[in-house]
Structure 1
C-alpha cells in the first residue's frame, strides 16, 4: 500500500506541475517526471511516442497552444497492481475532463473561442520514482462535436458532457482496503468472461444481468453515446455492436487493476473484429478493425454499476480506410 501511495503522489505531482506548464516549458515538466525510456500511447493520430521531448512536441505543446487556460477536472483517481503481469507493476489512473478555451486550431478542428471539455483517461506505470509508461486516451470526436464538426451519423445513444461517479467518491487519494479492490477486480473479470463468449445461450439482457446492476450506466464515446439501464444498453449499444461484427478476437489487455470500488483496463489493441455492417451507421467492409479501448468501472454490491468507455474511434475507422480528420479538413462529412 505504501508503494501505491508513493505512485499516486508522483502522478499528482506531475499533474500539479503540468497545470502551470506552457507550450515552451511542458517538455521540461515531462522530462523531470518521466524515465529515460518513457513510452506513451495516445489516440489516433498521435499513436505511440517515445521520450518526453517527443510527447511534448506531438501532443502537449499543441494542445496547450489550442486549449488555453487548460485545467484538469478530475473525477476518478486510483492506483493498483497490474493483474496482467502478475502484479509486478504499479499503475495510477486519472479520468475526467481537460477544460479550456478553444482559442486556436487543434488537429485541424476550428476553434470556437468558447469553453470546451476534452474527455480523457490516462494510465501511468510508475517505477523507480518515475513515470515510465503512459496510455492517454482522449475523445477527439467529442471535441469536434462541441466545435460544430460532428463527423458521424446520429448516435444510437446520447451525446453528453459526461459526469463522474454518482456518489462523487472516485478520487481515491488515500489508501483503501485491498479486499475491496479485489472484489471490484473479480466483478470486472466476471464481466470480461461473459463478454468474451459473445453469447451464453441466454437472451442478451439476461446475460448482462449476470454482472451488471439493472440501473447501470454505460458512458460511451462520441459516435456511440451514453446509455442507461440494461434494457437500453442492450438496445442502444451492446446489441447493435454485436450485430455489426464477426470474428471477434480474444481480449488482450496491457493493464487491468482496481482499488476500492473502481477499476479498469486498457489494451493496444483490446481486440479485433470484422465489420459486417451497421456499426455507427457504416457499411460492411470485410476488413478486420482494431479496437484500442480504455474502460473504467464502478462496482456497487457484487455487480458493476457504471462504465466510462474510451474507444479510439478514429483509429478504428482508419483501419477501415476512413480518415475522419482528413475529411473534416477537406470539408467532407463521414
Structure 2
C-alpha cells in the first residue's frame, strides 16, 4: 500500500509556511520548496511562471496583502501517481477555499472589508523532496461576485460558496486501499471515453447516466454555476455548452491521478473549441478558444457522484476579444 506520506507532508509544510510567512518572507518560502526546474501555472492574468520569486511577488504577496488574516480551508487532499506518464510522477492535489478579510484591492477587484473566499484547486508534482511543477487554479470571478462585481452577464446554474464532499471524507492524509483508487481511476476514464468527445450518439441524459449517479452534484465555476441531478445538469450546463461549441479538440491532460474515492485531472489547456453558438450571454464569435480546466471527482460505487470544476473563463473570453478583468478594473 503506497501512502505518499513524504509527498503529502511536504505539501502540508509548504502550505503552512506559505500561509503564515510575513509578506517579505514569502519569496523565500517559494524558493525553499521549489525545484530548479520549477513551473507554476495560474489562471488569468498570471499564466506560466518559472521563477519562484516571481510567483511570490506577482501572486502570493498581492493576494495576502488584499485577503488579510488568510485561512486555508481544505475540503479535498489526496495524492497519486500520474497514469499519463506511466505512473512515473507523483502528484499531490488539494482543493478548498482561501478565506480572509478582503481589505485591499486585488487585480482591480474592489475590497469589501468583509469575509471573502477564493475557491482554488492545486496540483503539485513532487520530485526529490521539492515541488517541480504546480498548477494553481482559482475562481477569480467567484471572488468578484462576492464583491458585487460579477463580471458575467448571465449564469445558467446556481452561484454559491461551494461545499466539499457530501461524505466529508475528502482529506486523505493517511494511506488508502490501492484498489479503491484504481476503481476511481476506472470510473473517471470511462467518463472521459464516453463523454469527452461528444460523439457517443445517445441522448444527452442517457449518455450522462452511463458515468454518473442520477443525483450527481456538479460544482461549476462562477459564470456557469452549480447543478444538481443529471436532468438539471444537462439543462443548465452540458446541453447549452455543447450547443454553443463545435470542432472540439481531443482531451489533453498534464496529470490524471486518483486515491481512494477521489481523483481528477488538469490540463493546460484541456481542449480547444470554436464558439459557434450563443454562450454566457454572448453571440457566437467563430473563434477558437482554450479551456484551462481542473476537474475533481468523488466516486460512489462504480459511478461518479460529485464533480468540482475550475475553468479559466477570464482567459477563454479574452481569446474571444472580451477582457472582463480589465473592464472590472476601470
Q: Is the 8 A contact 2:100 2:116 kept in 1?
A: yes
Structure 2 CA distance for aligned equivalents of residues 298 and 168 of structure 1: 11
Structure 2 CA distance for aligned equivalents of residues 249 and 269 of structure 1: 10
Aligned to 2:162: 162
Secondary structure in 2 aligned to 1:170? Answer: coil
By how many angstroms is 1:21 displaced? 1.4
Q: Is the 8 A contact 2:197 2:248 kept in 1?
A: no
Cα deviation code 1:254-290 (max 9, x no counterpart): 0001000000000000000000122111110100000
By how many angstroms is 1:22 displaced? 2.5
Aligned to 2:87: 87
Cα deviation code 1:80-119 (max 9, x no counterpart): 0001111000000010000000010000001000000000
By how many angstroms is 1:2 displaced? 5.0
By how many angstroms is 1:3 displaced? 6.6
Secondary structure in 2 aligned to 1:159? Answer: coil
CA RMSD of aligned residues (A): 0.9
Structure 1 CA distance for aligned equivalents of residues 171 and 56 of structure 2: 26
Q: Is the 8 A contact 1:37 1:51 kept in 2?
A: no
Cα deviation code 1:222-272 (max 9, x no counterpart): 000000000000000000000000000000000001000000000000000
1:146 and 2:146 equivalent?
yes
Aligned to 2:215: 215
Unaligned stretches of 5+ in structure 1? none
By how many angstroms is 1:19 displaced? 2.3
Question: Does 296-305 or 19-28 show the bigger shift?
Answer: 19-28
Structure 1 stretches of 4+ with a deviation exceeding 2 A read none
Cα deviation code 1:33-55 (max 9, x no counterpart): 11122110000000000121010
Unaligned stretches of 5+ in structure 2? none
Secondary structure in 2 aligned to 1:281? Answer: coil
Secondary structure in 2 aligned to 1:61? Answer: helix
1:266 and 2:266 equivalent?
yes
Aligned to 1:114: 114
Secondary structure in 2 aligned to 1:135? Answer: strand
1:287 and 2:300 equivalent?
no
Aligned to 2:135: 135
**Normalized against structure 2, the TM-score is what?**
0.99
Structure 2 CA distance for aligned equivalents of residues 201 and 40 of structure 1: 39
Aligned to 2:229: 229
Aligned to 1:58: 58
Aligned residues: 330
Q: Is the 8 A contact 1:36 1:51 kept in 2?
A: no
Aligned to 1:172: 172
By how many angstroms is 1:325 displaced? 0.9
Structure 1 CA distance for aligned equivalents of residues 22 and 248 of structure 2: 43
Q: Is the 8 A contact 2:153 2:281 kept in 1?
A: yes
Structure 2 CA distance for aligned equivalents of residues 173 and 197 of structure 1: 34
Aligned to 1:73: 73
